Amino acid sequence: FFFFFFFFVVVNLGNAFWQKKPVVPKGGLACDDGWTALEGSSINDDFCDCGDGADELLTSACARTSVAATFACVNEGFEAATVRLSVVGDGICDCCDGGDEARGRCENRCDEEAALERERRARERRLREDGLFVRAQYVARAREATLASDAELEEARKSLEDVEPKIAELRAELRKREAALKERREAKERHIEETFNATAEAALKEQGLGLGATVFAATRLAAAFAEIETLLDATTSILDDTIADGLDDVEVLSVGVDANEAYGKNDLGNFEHHCDALSAALHIADIPDQPSAVALLRTVAAAVNDQKDEKLVLENVLGSLAAALVKHKKQDDDLNDDDLTVCGEDQTCPTATTTLEGLKKDLDELEAAKKRADEAVKRVEKDRKLDFGPEDAYLPLKDKCLTRRIGKYDWEICPYGTAKQDRTSLGTFKKWSDDDYRSWHFDNGQYCAGVGARTLDVRLECGDDDAILDVNEKETCKYSATLMTPAACRPFDDDDLEETKDDGVTSTTS
């Protein structure tokens, strides 16, 4: 192994030692550190032979070489600079002192360039100073907003601590009162049924009413109070299946509507006529016995008793039994839900709001207050997760949208929000693109065929106002923008002060 390694090293070192740089022909040129030798005819022949471009100083043939030679511009009175050797002697004054061309060919513009540069830097400094002044206001507003959000968060949390136990207490009380109401309603229904039964039994016994009178009363009671479907269902359950299956529901309902309309107009003649037709359509004559007829009447009367609107007096139409039932109906509505007060076990009512509806209203108000507090907590905690840069200077931009028309499009950028080109989404704020707080990244915009979701990168520059400076589509559906804002202004450092001291440029004139 060592033998082969030693042999390899000796051979390669020998090749390097024995290899010699070419001889430069008379009138020729050596370039590329002497490893390339050219004839004189190859110099400035508009063809780049040397990798460092040294053979084409007076042409642009080597302008695109990766190792192009350069010429130093002294530019006395302004800033030193470098240009490619390929532009030296091309008749165009690239150096402000004209050093790249023959003496006397170019006018020295360095003092003029220096003056323009000083003016440009002065403008930038004034803009930066104005921006820093506004930025200080942004920082102050951010502090105030932070204090306000802290107070809002504390208030919302205290509100939740206060209302949540009250909500639980009211919900429990509401369940208790609703259970009591349900129990009393059921008691009321039992009372109605018992009273009806007693009234019906007394009327039947006193007047000796038979089956015919009973179904007569049931039919007319249903027609008068528009309980035709109740009458139909009850009759169908009583009749024999073979008869019930033959009933024409459409005919029954149609005749019943006609009877009800006649009753509403107090047209008792037509009312009786339609009721007779209703009895025939229902095969009332086929009801087998008196108990069945009484059950039918009870079902219809129970439905009528649930109605709240009052009808005409039925004494002249339905006979004594129906009249007694209607009279009973007017007397049985003796329970109002508002009678259920919200009081303690000792029957003391601590507040004026004691009805069931009042209890529900109080609960609704507390739940609305809880919802507002929950939303405030979520909003503040969400904002706290956002990075508003040094001293929270970017916080005042959070709920702000900047717009500008550039070209044929209206552009909109909402910091920490969304970005749009007209109605096309360019994305939603995702993150800062760097640790220096100089750029934002928006992603997940509207889909672009062959590319995917649109994106936007925003470069931030110091300025005295918030404004969109430019927007470009750097690649298909990949956008870049420049946004000016005081929040991007940085305080002056030592280098800035030193540069300001001498304006950053020098001049040959006094």
- Asked if 443 contacts 430 with a C-beta cutoff of 8 angstroms, the reply is yes
The answer on pLDDT for 249 being more than 50 is: yes
Give whole-number Cα distances, 273 to 247, 250, 279, 361, in Å. 20, 18, 10, 51
Rounded to the nearest 10°, the torsion over CA 140, 146, 150, 155 is: 80
Sequence-separated (6 or more) residues with CB below 8 Å from residue 162: none
Number of neighbours of residue 291 by Cβ within 10 angstroms:
12
204 vs 222, residue with greater confidence: 222
Instruction: Using pLDDT thresholds of 50, 70 and 90, give the confidence band for residue 317.
Output: very low
Q: Would you state the pLDDT for residue 390?
A: 92
Q: Would you state the pLDDT for residue 63?
A: 66
Share of the chain above pLDDT 90, in %: 37
Q: Would you state the pLDDT for residue 252?
A: 92
| Residues 87, 96: Cα–Cα separation, whole Å | 14
If we measure between CA atoms, which residue out of 234, 222, 228 comes closest to residue 326?
A: 222
Instruction: Using pLDDT thresholds of 50, 70 and 90, give the confidence band for residue 468.
Output: very high
Beta bridge partners of 412: 403, 420
Q: Would you state the pLDDT for residue 481?
A: 96
Q: Which two tokens stand for residue 454?
A: 């649109």
Q: Would you state the pLDDT for residue 200?
A: 61
Q: Would you state the pLDDT for residue 255?
A: 93
Q: What's the whole-number average pLDDT of the chain?
A: 80
If we measure between CA atoms, which residue out of 109, 114, 87 comes closest to residue 96?
A: 109
Q: What is the pTM for the complete model shown?
A: 0.53
The per-residue pLDDT for range 411-424, each reduced to its tens digit, is 999 999 999 999 99
Mean pLDDT is lowest, of 195-209, 302-316, 335-349, 455-469, for 335-349
Instruction: Using pLDDT thresholds of 50, 70 and 90, give the confidence band for residue 72.
Output: confident
Instruction: Using pLDDT thresholds of 50, 70 and 90, give the confidence band for residue 229.
Output: very high
The answer on pLDDT for 444 being more than 90 is: yes
Q: Would you state the pLDDT for residue 9?
A: 47
Q: Would you state the pLDDT for residue 327?
A: 52
Radius of gyration of the chain (CA): 50
| Residues 219, 274: Cα–Cα separation, whole Å | 10
| Residues 39, 19: Cα–Cα separation, whole Å | 21
Instruction: Using pLDDT thresholds of 50, 70 and 90, give the confidence band for residue 315.
Output: very low
Instruction: Using pLDDT thresholds of 50, 70 and 90, give the confidence band for residue 325.
Output: low
Cα–chain center distance at 418:
10
Instruction: Using pLDDT thresholds of 50, 70 and 90, give the confidence band for residue 85.
Output: confident
Q: Would you state the pLDDT for residue 6?
A: 47
Q: Would you state the pLDDT for residue 5?
A: 47
Strand 455-462 and strand 478-485: the pairing is parallel
Q: Would you state the pLDDT for residue 141?
A: 94
Q: Which two tokens stand for residue 298?
A: 């009870």
In which element (H, E) is residue 24 found?
none
The per-residue pLDDT for range 255-278, each reduced to its tens digit, is 999 999 998 888 888 988 998 999
The per-residue pLDDT for range 202-211, each reduced to its tens digit, is 655 555 556 6
- Asked if 278 contacts 252 with a C-beta cutoff of 8 angstroms, the reply is yes
Q: Would you state the pLDDT for residue 322?
A: 54
Give whole-number Cα distances, 259 to 294, 472, 490, in Å. 22, 79, 90
89 vs 459, residue with greater confidence: 459
Q: Would you state the pLDDT for residue 412?
A: 97
Mean pLDDT of 438-453: 94
The per-residue pLDDT for range 151-187, each reduced to its tens digit, is 989 999 999 999 999 999 989 888 888 888 888 888 8
Give whole-number Cα distances, 108 to 117, 129, 493, 502, in Å. 16, 33, 34, 21
The per-residue pLDDT for range 18-55, each reduced to its tens digit, is 567 888 888 888 888 788 899 989 988 888 888 877 78
